[in-house]
Structure 1
Amino acid sequence: MPLVHHRTATVDGHEIFYREAGPADAPTIVLLHGYPTSSSMFRHLIPLLAGDHHVIAPDHLGFGYSAAPPAAEFDYTFDALAGITDGLLALLGVDRYALYVQDYGAPIGWRLALAHPERITAIVTQNGNGYEDGFVESFWTDVWAYGDAPGPRTEPAVRAALDLDAIRWQYLHGVPDPGTVDPDTWHHDHALVSRDGNDAVQLALFRDYRTNRPLYPRLHGFLRSSGVPVLAVWGRNDEIFGPDGARAFARDARDVEVHLVDGGHFLLESHLDVVAGHLRRFLERVPA
């Protein structure tokens, strides 16, 4: 089993934690996590990829073991998180890579691809949205309302997403056998987002999420013009980003695979082998 190294680097004055494995001279794949987790979501996937790939999985600023400066001292936006990630990759000398994105990792990854289209060799999206089709409105209505008019009327609904029950729901909804999901996942995530002041960090990103939607037409243009291969492997029962979000990539990507799996939002927790199988076969056939 390949060794996984747990490292930190200083980017723009902030300590960023990242997991790294595999040969340094192998093709690189960058794994970008979502809310409310960290690179921990890839802990089982990384060793399965590291035999043939150089794998890098950072914790976004404000998440996991990376620094979490107070929201009053750092402007938490998806632009800012993408800038930190870009800085980390530059520091590590990574200038050509495949992207694996999930949830928040998607808008961060889209910004990297749009800023440096020549660097992206392939895109893997696992419940990482890039189309209006993907939004399950029953989930997103409160987020849009808070982004449009943040305040005491709209905040309680989104603040509830920080609760243990809401985080547990993200892991278990849509999973045919919930007993396959390790409860350490939601307890670990809840402990980290419950750190003093981290609620303000997460609320800032909830407010900023609406800035991701205007990027979608540019993303679609990138997919059409670049011909970058795309693998969309998706929990078909996800009630945050629905399966239409996976199917939509076939409209613009010229080389695309779409696989809908009988799972939920955090598919790696219940269907690791299925996702890893699709991913390895995809990476074997795409150019590095």
Structure 2
Amino acid sequence: MMVQANISSLQSSPFVLNSPSSHPSLRQLLNFSAGKAERRKLRFSCRSSREQEGEYLLDAPVSVGDGFSFSGGKYSDEPSPSDEWFKKGKMVKAHPVNGIGKKAKDPIFGLTMGAGSQASSDVFRWFCVESGNADNPSVILIHGFPSQAYSYRKALPVLSKEYHAIAFDWLGFGFSDKPQPGYGFDYTLDEYVLALESLIGQLVRDKVSLVVQGYFAPIVVKYASNHQEKLNDLILLNPPLVENHAELPSTLSIFSNFLLGEIFSQDPLRASDKPLTSCGPYKMKEVDAMVYRRPYLTSGSSGFALTAITRAMRKELKTYTKEMRMILSNENWKVRTTVCWGQRDNWLGYDGVDDFCKHSSHKVVELAMAGHHVQEDSGEELGQLITSILSKP
């Protein structure tokens, strides 16, 4: 029933799904969702930039974007806020690709994906935005799941006054590479730890402070436990800190379901808008929504990466959160750690957080008006708070 409800919304959505119209699985899917009279409202095109090789692509030309949405939406070549954000950053190469030397294929139809959905062949590309003087102490801002470096846009200008602030997109998000699972990166949490180590090695040479939000916190803490000598401060924003935080909310766990995960992750409203707005008081402006939706409308790989990450999180999050608690409460942990908590978090409850921090001698700072995505709800306030927390050189 849920599949039919989402597919049927195609009838009123003006978009082009670029795929071989003769492909039986796609035809069956459409027959299942709409009658003959309503199917003629859909517009399809069969395009391939490699027809000379007899290989069809589930993609539009690179100039248009190769994404698709099962519930509406279409990428436009017109100027957008995402273009302005992209101009502020740069691509950094870090972490070797453990690939198989073949073009990635989508997991639904098995069709080779276009250039926009192919990751690097040697070293992954990460999108990074830097602000402030590079001679100042460095602080790296790490977004949560699912989000982008864009979420720190309000905090960056504040931090740049005294620090060299850097925000980046994780692999699978934003403008960074989004490899298909099995084609160089499988999105396991262990892989993310190693990838983070490679990236930080490229970004900074001296000591650094780390700020991380949400469900990526256990990954960052595990990295930090192996590199305490490199860290000045660690700031955790609404991390899954206690035992009952180890399960993903239904808004995210839906992407791990068989088939439904692949379908729903291609819907920018489900993959982007809903996770960002359902976990707290955040009211997304359309200008910001256009930035967050862009990856899902320009490349099908964004949604497939989201599905892979969610499945890895569901499988490994309990182990990682338990390990994070052990690390932070261990007497050998020497990094000054602060937990900042948005009290209007609809995903993670505050019960037990204060007790854990007191027992582990970590400072807790509460933000009354913020939710799970603290940097969205209280970005400038967070920037000022981070500035007050970080160790002065």
TM-score range, shorter chain: 0.7 to 0.9
Tell me which of 82, 97, 103 is aligned to 2:193. Answer: 82
Q: Distance in 2 between matches of 1:47 and 1:269?
A: 14
By how many angstroms is 1:116 displaced? 1.4
Q: Distance in 1 between matches of 2:246 and 2:325?
A: 16
Gaps in structure 1 of 5+ consecutive residues? none
Give the alignment's TM-score, normalised by structure 2.
0.61
Match of 1:98 in 2: 209
Q: Distance in 2 between matches of 1:278 and 1:261?
A: 13
Supply the AA of the counterpart residue of 1:207.
R
1:9 equivalenced with 2:92 (yes/no): yes
Indicate if the aligned counterparts of 2:143 and 2:213 stay in contact, CA closer than 8 A: yes
Give the alignment's TM-score, normalised by structure 1.
0.81
CA distance 1:174–1:32, change in 2 (3 Å): closer
By how many angstroms is 1:14 displaced? 1.1
- Secondary structure in 1 matching 2:360: coil
Q: Distance in 2 between matches of 1:146 and 1:37?
A: 15
Q: Distance in 2 between matches of 1:158 and 1:69?
A: 18
By how many angstroms is 1:51 displaced? 1.7
Tell me which of 163, 169, 180 is aligned to 1:59. Answer: 169
CA distance 1:77–1:135, change in 2 (3 Å): closer
Indicate if the aligned counterparts of 1:8 and 1:17 stay in contact, CA closer than 8 A: yes
Judge which range, 79-88 or 241-250, deviates more: 241-250
Match of 1:218 in 2: 323
By how many angstroms is 1:164 displaced? 0.4
By how many angstroms is 1:280 displaced? 2.0
1:235 equivalenced with 2:345 (yes/no): no
Indicate if the aligned counterparts of 2:261 and 2:307 stay in contact, CA closer than 8 A: no
CA distance 1:8–1:45, change in 2 (3 Å): same
1:185 equivalenced with 2:288 (yes/no): yes
CA distance 1:124–1:169, change in 2 (3 Å): same
Q: How does 1:194-209 map to 2 (within 5 A)?
A: 194=297, 195-209=299-313
Q: Distance in 2 between matches of 1:119 and 1:183?
A: 39
By how many angstroms is 1:21 displaced? 2.0
Residue by residue over 1:238-264, the C-alpha shift from the partner in whole angstroms, topping out at 9 and shown as x without a partner, is 122222374355144324123142232
Supply the AA of the counterpart residue of 1:33.
H
By how many angstroms is 1:7 displaced? 1.7
Between structures 1 and 2, the one with greater helix share: 1
Q: Distance in 1 between matches of 2:194 and 2:282?
A: 38
CA distance 1:130–1:103, change in 2 (3 Å): same
Residue by residue over 1:132-181, the C-alpha shift from the partner in whole angstroms, topping out at 9 and shown as x without a partner, is 243577x25983x986xx635xx459946954056333333465583xx4
Q: Distance in 2 between matches of 1:158 and 1:96?
A: 42
Match of 1:280 in 2: 387
Gaps in structure 2 of 5+ consecutive residues? 1-86, 97-122
Q: How does 1:134-213 map to 2 (within 5 A)?
A: 134=245, 139-140=249-250, 143=253, 151-152=258-259, 155-156=260-261, 159=264, 162-165=267-270, 167-173=272-278, 178=283, 181-194=284-297, 195-209=299-313, 210-213=315-318
Supply the AA of the counterpart residue of 1:105.
F
